[in-house]
Amino acid sequence: MRRAPVDEAVIDSFLDYRRSTTSLAVGATARRSVARYWNDRARTASGWPSQLLYEPPSRRPEAFPPWQAYPIGLRLDIEAYLGSLTKVRKTAKGKRVLPAKATTIRNRRTMLEAALRMASRIGVGMEELASLSSFLDPAVSRRVLDAYWEKSGEQPSIFTIDLARLFLSVARSAHCLSVERLEELDDMRGELEHHSPAAMTDKNLAAIRMFMQGEAWRALHHLPELLMDQAKEASYSAPVKAAGRAQMAVAIGILNVAPIRRANLGQIRIGENLIRTGGPKTPYRLVFPGYDVKNRVTLDFPLDAELTALIDDYLFNYRPALIDHSGGSWLFPGEGDGHKYLATLSGQITTSIEKSIGLRLTVHQFRHLSAAIILKHQPGNYELVRLLLGHRTVQVTIRNYIGLETTHASEVYGNLVRNLRARRLEEEDDA
């Protein structure tokens, strides 16, 4: 969108267009999302129009007390806990823990504030929320978790399970509960974790099954070449569109051989993450130091000559059309000196795949697909999957992908039965 003044009439027109051309949401939630994005940019982005848009309230103002209405002791305890996450610290077992990422701290704040709103909704009084110890006391925290479970239905939601884990983690970190209360909180967490869904959801399994078919997998790996051909055709008549196609070719090409997380993909820096270690004519390597990776595990992917040539073509012939000025060193530049918004990049990747080969695959599902391919050709080799995906422990890998082996075992058994049946029929014919 051109950075021109936007008012409510423009938003009305945008939502009307969305209503008539897509199945996306157009209600108050959608309007609030658009307005919040615009207002955030107006407050922080240099050169952005200063006019603010109306943000429809998500709840009636009187539904929940504002943050400032909660007891000062509780607020200070929560701020102290969140502040501790910004520092190097040790667990109860003496293990050294590096500072948490800003996104992690923001997510934990959001979860704790949501839990407090739920406590207010179900009638927990302010006197029971005087401090972190009183809020996390099982007498109160269980009521909050039960309310979330009741809201989600027969099974607790993933948020409820994660919230129980967070309650226990905060209590241990803040040393605000007795040993007996901690054990009770741990029991609550264990009870909820029994209801954790399988690591591979039905949606993910369905996507993996489609792409495990030979034709779909081949089409996915041929797609970067196809997109780059389309970019070349459009390079003179529509250079920005061509650059977008080339960018998708590079992104999908990288994910095909280096199934990294969305945040790492979107924040690749030329010369830092995308490097040549053997000279200017050698293939690229894609490297991420541990501090840039979610699990703090260093990642290192050698890229082949074909993908290197594709990246060079993009860098020299297409990327310049996507940058305002210097564009910084981002492989996928966004506005000004920043990288492209992660949600935008991942959405464009999924859309490109769906439009080109008719199947939907998200950035994160590339990770599931890579695990499925390894386990199909090397059954039981979870250590190789762990190394590729950067999991800290093989137990995490097994927990996440044991369902893929179950599916593959069923396929192997089915083939075995069919082969035995065919052999028996041949023997009967010979007799």
How many angstroms separate the CA atoms of 318 and 337, rounded? Answer: 17
Residue given tokens 């199947």 in the structure block = 359
Q: State the helix-helix crossing angle for 214-234 and 239-257, rounded to 10 degrees.
A: 150
Nearest in space to 173 (alpha carbons), one of 107, 255, 95: 95
Number of Cβ within a 10 Å radius of residue 311: 24
Count of CA atoms in the C-beta half-sphere (13 A) of 235? 16
| The predicted structure's pLDDT at residue 33 | 85
Conformational region of residue 10, where left means phi above 0, alpha means psi within -120 to 50, and beta covers everything else: alpha
- For 240, the token pair is 């920005």
How many angstroms separate the CA atoms of 234 and 231, rounded? Answer: 5
- For 92, the token pair is 């109860």
Question: What is the per-residue pLDDT across 167-197, written as a single tens digit (0 to 9) for each?
Answer: 999 999 999 999 889 999 998 988 888 777 6
Residue given tokens 């709840």 in the structure block = 59
Domain 202-405 fold: hpI Integrase; Chain A (1.10.443)
| The predicted structure's pLDDT at residue 431 | 63
Residues of the chain with pLDDT under 50: 1, 61-62
Share of the chain above pLDDT 70, in %: 91
| The predicted structure's pLDDT at residue 42 | 73
| The predicted structure's pLDDT at residue 356 | 95
| The predicted structure's pLDDT at residue 126 | 94
Contact 98, 86 (CB under 8 A): no
DSSP state of 260: -
Contact 332, 345 (CB under 8 A): yes
How many angstroms separate the CA atoms of 141 and 147, rounded? Answer: 10
pTM of the model: 0.63
Q: Counting every residue, how long is the chain? A: 431
